[in-house]
Structure 1
């Protein structure tokens, strides 16, 4: 049975002498693993259309364990632009690995995750915002879509709001966000009030707040986002080690 879908290529690995197994995040069918036959040959009709970061329109044939790519047309070659900038490329690689880890069920619809990834890559290649902030915003939003939304306003444990004009001063990934002084547990971080504001802005897409923030608060926010991501994925991403944080 044949079906069509659009997808982002997340990763590839070799199969035999000329084939590749392609891991895709598709719009309607979620995470799909498929074989691209003969793609490593010089005269392959697919060529670079099935490389990581490529946004493609595909026709696939259903198989017993792996589907087979029968047609591929490029929609947006994100890799062309990302390959010109190391920081944007490495940040984009983290986005692909995050999507691969968060969408665990194969062929289960994950439309929001797909749209979020496509949108994040478009902003990344546009170059109008810092790659670190685009990445942090994507990570927080993708975690929220996956059911791990952090709270940066209400106490994650008791739900109380901070006093007017302030914010809760403690943050703990295992608790799901900020904590009030009463609910604070050992090992909680104590970020600056401005950093908590940056985190909230990254989650909601309030870019004027993010762009007005000082570098030290952006850096502190990045560290907390990485810790939150590692906690919910149960281990750090390999690609994150190459990103300047």
Structure 2
């Protein structure tokens, strides 16, 4: 899956691929920026590819690329879907592990669902929760993350790992609707969830804070999405 690309030299481009069995692979597509490139438009975002690579010291070289799926047709013309998909690809790059097909398969499945979704932000948030859970960062959404006291609780803080009871609530914890945490649990486990605009927005901000806490750096595409939400 093409998740990022950038120009390299006069006519080449580096393509960042999320692979099923080899984690992230960075490869050069030679001459792809020329008008008569043999790769055409295949090496772009939201394209699932079957590629042949020649291994190099630092970068592989793409020798052949055939399109398996193209998800962009129903995404790139819809701003909400496009920004959600961009956040997903950027997060996938940060969360990728070697020899682990889970994230690749989750990206493909989510892009497929996102094409016809009427709630792209919830689809993105479900992806982020599942990806973080696979990385070992699943938040506690009912019991207190600090002491295990049964919930539901009204506070959430990424530093302690999710929901917080009154005794364990740290300074700066967000005051949350317990139904928002329930919605997060539902989408994290693959269930449908009906959310108001306020609940969906609150869930998104909690998931955003949790992701950036663990990554210890900004996800640039999230900032673009948040500007639109404002």
Q: What TM-score do you get using the length of structure 1 for normalisation?
A: 0.89
Structure 2 residue 125 is the aligned partner of structure 1 residue 153: no
Q: What is the CA–CA distance in structure 2 between the aligned matches of 1:144 and 1:61, rounded to whole Å?
A: 34
Structure 2 residue 164 is the aligned partner of structure 1 residue 179: yes
> In 2, are the aligned partners of 1:229 and 1:236 still within 8 Å (CA)?
no
Structure 2 residue 62 is the aligned partner of structure 1 residue 73: no
What is the CA distance between 1:171 and its match in structure 2? Answer: 0.5
Structure 2 residue 31 is the aligned partner of structure 1 residue 38: yes
Kindly provide the CA deviation profile for residues 11-53 of structure 1, in whole angstroms up to 9, marking residues without a partner as x. 1111111111111100011100001111111111111111111
What secondary structure, in the 3-state scheme, does the structure 2 residue paired with 1:153 have? Answer: coil
What is the CA distance between 1:145 and its match in structure 2? Answer: 1.1
What is the CA distance between 1:121 and its match in structure 2? Answer: 0.7
Structure 1 unaligned blocks of 5 or more: 1-7
> In 2, are the aligned partners of 1:136 and 1:225 still within 8 Å (CA)?
yes
Q: What is the CA–CA distance in structure 1 between the aligned matches of 2:141 and 2:159, rounded to whole Å?
A: 14
Structure 2 residue 218 is the aligned partner of structure 1 residue 222: no
1:58 counterpart (51, 64, 86) = 51
Q: What is the CA–CA distance in structure 1 between the aligned matches of 2:74 and 2:38, rounded to whole Å?
A: 22
Structure 2 unaligned blocks of 5 or more: none
Aligned residue number for residue 183 of structure 2 = 198
Q: What TM-score do you get using the length of structure 2 for normalisation?
A: 0.94
Q: What is the CA–CA distance in structure 2 between the aligned matches of 1:65 and 1:23, rounded to whole Å?
A: 13
Aligned residue number for residue 231 of structure 1 = 213
Aligned residue number for residue 113 of structure 1 = 103
Aligned residue number for residue 3 of structure 1 = none
RMSD, aligned α-carbons: 1.3
Q: Which runs of 4+ in 1 moved over 6 A?
A: none
1:143 counterpart (113, 116, 132) = 132
What is the CA distance between 1:97 and its match in structure 2? Answer: 0.5
Q: What is the CA–CA distance in structure 2 between the aligned matches of 1:204 and 1:223, rounded to whole Å?
A: 19
